[in-house]
């Protein structure tokens, strides 16, 4: 009963303080670790020792898998050099550097023990860093690299730690270290790929989303344990399985299964990630109490903890700048066409925040190791120090350096373009199909596709005081959905229809309402965070030969054909061939498209204030 009460109390605390952090616009990981530290000194709060097996076998696999299935394999591959240099090169570099610091400051400590604590504090945990990065809107390339680094660096650190622990009792040659790393990486990748193949084949045979999601709950543990059983890296196995299954999900899973899995894993990751930071804080009391019995002086202990914390920060900064200018030399970002500036590198270096793996790995150091209590305090200091020093200052640093956040308008433009290209492929299939359409179903299909595409284009509108057709539709349909749901609930309460049927109808209404809510939230974001559209990365010969033109806003441009016909428009477009101004497809007249059909002038540009994106009618791409 005491354990049950403790778990419930922790869960309530995590939810309450996470909600409070959200209200205060404060990073939840930092608040939770502070609450945990304070709680460790509160009388009556039981002393909680974070066992390494609980973290490495219970928490790490699902956290890694939840991150891996949401990580783009394409983005991961595009940034693989930077990710590998951080997850392998930087971990080794930090392990050696911290080992030298510890060996110099703690009298009589051996080199294997020094390198062991170096391996413990080497891997950053991107859970906190990416949570802060997304909250303040860091560039996606930085977030991708941080996530990719965190997926693989634990494997490097654990191999280095195990090697150092083995060297405490017997000598270890450099060849043995290389062999261990090769077995861990290749073996882990092989296990992860095998798990992916098996699960992918099973998913093609399964249509029940509940069963499919239940299988996904088992995958990270199966991959991790199978790899560890053959002395390979369970971390790499989970990451490979998660990356591949996430990448192939649209092919091997049903739509319902994908929705269910995505929501379930978001919930699991939310609970585990925030619980982890509360647990980190709860270790403070007993770790500090154990250090008070150390034979080392308080001044030396404080000095070595501060030196290691500073070393972790400085070593990372030195490595990322050296890697950028000597090894990587990154090319233009595919989303912006601009080479990342030095400020990106500085932010990437400053985001090296440590987490629960560092603390759990410290407990793997044998209990008879000299000054073990000091080594545990070092690990805790690095975790807490990086969380508060770097975590609190990261938003301010990003603002001071003017690091650009992802442009919501550019995302809306890319979304509309992609939907248009998808529709083109769908229409091609429609032309090739044979059907007897006596009920005029094809016209209804085309109408729904057009409505979907028009809604995507309407999100680009920046006039907050103008209600677009999609917004009018949303307002009307939401009111209707409320009435429809109320009537269904009346029928349910009267017991006139089977509960299963009622649940199915309510679910249909919920799906439709959620789609409208998402569209409205995106529109609101564009109106509040609007910035000038740059480019989406797509191009063609027509777009290349017709550069952006400045549109005269005085007097305000109008669609003359709409004026002549007594119609209204949503947004205006200008032909870059003849400067004709006409209304967009979301408008009633659709005169911009009509102009293209009459003249075959291929490129039009937005004529709205501050917008400079262009559209090619021939290739269905924007720039």
Q: What is the pLDDT of residues 142-169, one digit of tens each?
A: 888 888 888 888 888 888 888 888 887 6
Alpha helices (runs of H) in 40-125, residue ranges in sequence order: 52-53, 60-70, 73-78, 80-84, 91-105, 111-121
Q: Are 350 and 394 in contact (CB under 8 A)?
A: yes
Give the C-alpha separation, 606 to 600, whole Å: 18
Whose tokens are 């510890």? That residue is 102
Residue 11 has pLDDT above 80, yes or no: yes
| Average pLDDT estimate for 301-323 | 93
Q: What is the pLDDT of residue 596?
A: 92
pLDDT digits (tens, 9 = 90+) for 434-480: 888 777 888 888 878 877 777 777 666 655 556 777 778 888 888 99
| Average pLDDT estimate for 338-348 | 83
Residue 279 has pLDDT above 80, yes or no: yes
Q: What is the pLDDT of residue 533?
A: 46
pLDDT digits (tens, 9 = 90+) for 202-228: 998 888 888 999 999 999 999 999 999
User: Chain-wide mean pLDDT for the chain?
Assistant: 84
Whose tokens are 């020094």? That residue is 114
Highest mean pLDDT of the ranges 110-114, 249-253, 271-275, 310-314: 310-314
Closest-CA residue to 149 (of 443, 367, 348): 348
Give the C-alpha separation, 384 to 355, whole Å: 8
Give the C-alpha separation, 79 to 149, whole Å: 10
Angle at 452 between CA 448 and CA 458, to 5 degrees: 140
What's the full length of the chain, in residues? Answer: 623
Residue 120 CB: number of other CB atoms within 10 A?
Answer: 31
- Give the confidence band of 586 by pLDDT, cuts at 50, 70, 90: confident
pLDDT digits (tens, 9 = 90+) for 499-526: 778 888 888 888 888 878 777 666 655 5
Indicate the DSSP class of residue 570: S
Give the C-alpha separation, 57 to 61, whole Å: 6
What CATH architecture is 541-622? 2-Layer Sandwich (3.30)
- Give the confidence band of 108 by pLDDT, cuts at 50, 70, 90: confident
Q: Rg for the chain (alpha carbons), in Å?
A: 28
Give the C-alpha separation, 620 to 602, whole Å: 10
Q: What is the pLDDT of residue 462?
A: 53
Give the C-alpha separation, 361 to 61, whole Å: 15
Strands laid side by side in the 621-622 sheet: 581-583, 572-575, 603-606, 614-616, 621-622
Domain spans in the chain, listed from the N-terminal domain onward: 2-406, 409-528, 541-622
| Non-local CB neighbours of 390 within 8 Å, separated by 6+ positions | 313, 350, 351, 352, 353
Give the C-alpha separation, 479 to 485, whole Å: 10
Higher pLDDT, 268 or 537: 268
| Non-local CB neighbours of 240 within 8 Å, separated by 6+ positions | 188, 189, 191, 192, 193, 196, 223
Identify the CATH number of the domain defined by range 2-406.
1.20.1530.20
- Give the confidence band of 559 by pLDDT, cuts at 50, 70, 90: very high
Q: Are 242 and 60 in contact (CB under 8 A)?
A: no
pLDDT digits (tens, 9 = 90+) for 237-276: 999 999 999 988 888 888 888 888 888 998 998 888 888 8
- Say if residue 388 is exposed, middle or buried (CB neighbours under 10 Å; 0-12, 13-18, 19+): middle
Residue 296 has pLDDT above 70, yes or no: yes
């Amino acid at each position: 009963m005491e354990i049950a009460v403790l778990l419930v109390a922790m869960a309530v605390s995590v939810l309450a303080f996470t909600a409070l952090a959200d209200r205060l616009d404060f990073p939840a990981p930092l608040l939770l670790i502070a609450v945990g530290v304070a709680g460790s000194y509160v009388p009556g709060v039981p002393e909680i020792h974070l066992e390494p097996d609980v973290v490495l076998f219970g928490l790490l696999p699902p956290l890694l898998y939840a991150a891996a299935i949401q990580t783009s394999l394409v983005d991961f591959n595009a940034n693989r050099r930077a990710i590998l240099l951080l997850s392998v090169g930087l971990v080794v570099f930090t392990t050696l550097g911290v080992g030298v610091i510890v060996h110099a400051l703690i009298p009589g400590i051996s080199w294997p023990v020094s390198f062991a604590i170096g391996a413990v504090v080497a891997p950053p945990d991107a859970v906190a860093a990416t949570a802060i990065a997304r909250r303040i809107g860091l560039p996606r390339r930085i977030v991708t690299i941080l996530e990719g680094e965190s997926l693989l660096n634990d494997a490097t650190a654990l191999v280095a730690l195990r090697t150092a622990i083995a060297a405490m009792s017997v000598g270890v040659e450099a060849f043995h270290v290389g062999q261990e790393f090769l077995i861990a990486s290749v073996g882990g990748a092989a296990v992860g790929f095998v798990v992916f193949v098996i699960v992918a084949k099973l998913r093609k045979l399964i249509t029940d989303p509940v069963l499919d999601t239940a299988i996904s709950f088992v995958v990270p543990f199966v991959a991790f344990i199978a790899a560890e059983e053959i002395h390979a890296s369970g971390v790499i196995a989970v990451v490979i399985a998660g990356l591949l299954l996430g990448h192939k999900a649209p092919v091997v899973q049903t739509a319902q299964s994908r929705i269910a899995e995505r929501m379930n894993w978001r919930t699991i990751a939310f609970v585990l990630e925030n619980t982890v930071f509360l647990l980190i804080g709860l270790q403070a009391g007993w770790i500090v109490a154990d250090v008070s019995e150390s034979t080392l002086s308080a001044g030396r202990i404080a000095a070595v903890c501060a030196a290691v914390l500073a070393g972790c920060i400085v070593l990372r900064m030195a490595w990322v700048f050296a890697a950028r200018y000597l090894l990587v030399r990154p090319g233009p970002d595919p989303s912006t066409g601009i080479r990342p500036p030095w400020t990106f590198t500085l932010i990437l270096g400053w985001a090296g925040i440590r987490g629960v793996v560092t603390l759990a790995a410290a407990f793997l150091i044998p209990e008879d190791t000299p000054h073990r209590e000091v080594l545990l305090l070092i690990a805790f200091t690095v975790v807490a120090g990086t969380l508060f020093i770097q975590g609190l200052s990261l938003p301010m640093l990003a603002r001071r350096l003017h690091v650009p956040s992802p442009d919501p308008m550019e995302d809306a433009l890319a979304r509309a373009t992609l939907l248009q290209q998808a529709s083109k492929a769908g229409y091609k299939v429609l032309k090739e199909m044979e059907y007897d359409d006596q009920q005029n179903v094809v016209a209804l299909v085309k109408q729904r596709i057009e409505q979907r595409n028009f809604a995507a284009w309407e999100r680009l509108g920046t006039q907050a005081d103008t209600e677009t057709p999609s917004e009018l539709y949303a307002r009307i349909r939401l009111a209707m959905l409320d009435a429809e749901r109320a009537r269904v609930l009346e029928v349910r309460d009267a017991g006139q229809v089977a509960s299963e049927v009622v649940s199915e109808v309510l679910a249909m209404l919920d799906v439709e309402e959620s789609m409208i809510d998402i569209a409205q939230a995106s529109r609101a974001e564009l109106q509040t965070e609007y910035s000038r559209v740059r480019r989406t990365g797509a191009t063609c010969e027509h777009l290349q030969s017709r550069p952006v033109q400045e549109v005269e806003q005085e007097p305000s441009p109008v669609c003359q054909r709409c004026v002549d016909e007594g119609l209204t428009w949503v947004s205006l477009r200008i032909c870059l061939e003849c400067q004709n101004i006409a209304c967009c497809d979301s408008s009633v007249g659709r005169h911009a498209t009509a102009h293209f059909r009459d003249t075959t002038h291929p490129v039009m540009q937005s004529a709205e204030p501050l917008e400079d994106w262009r559209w090619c009618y021939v290739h269905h791409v924007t720039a």
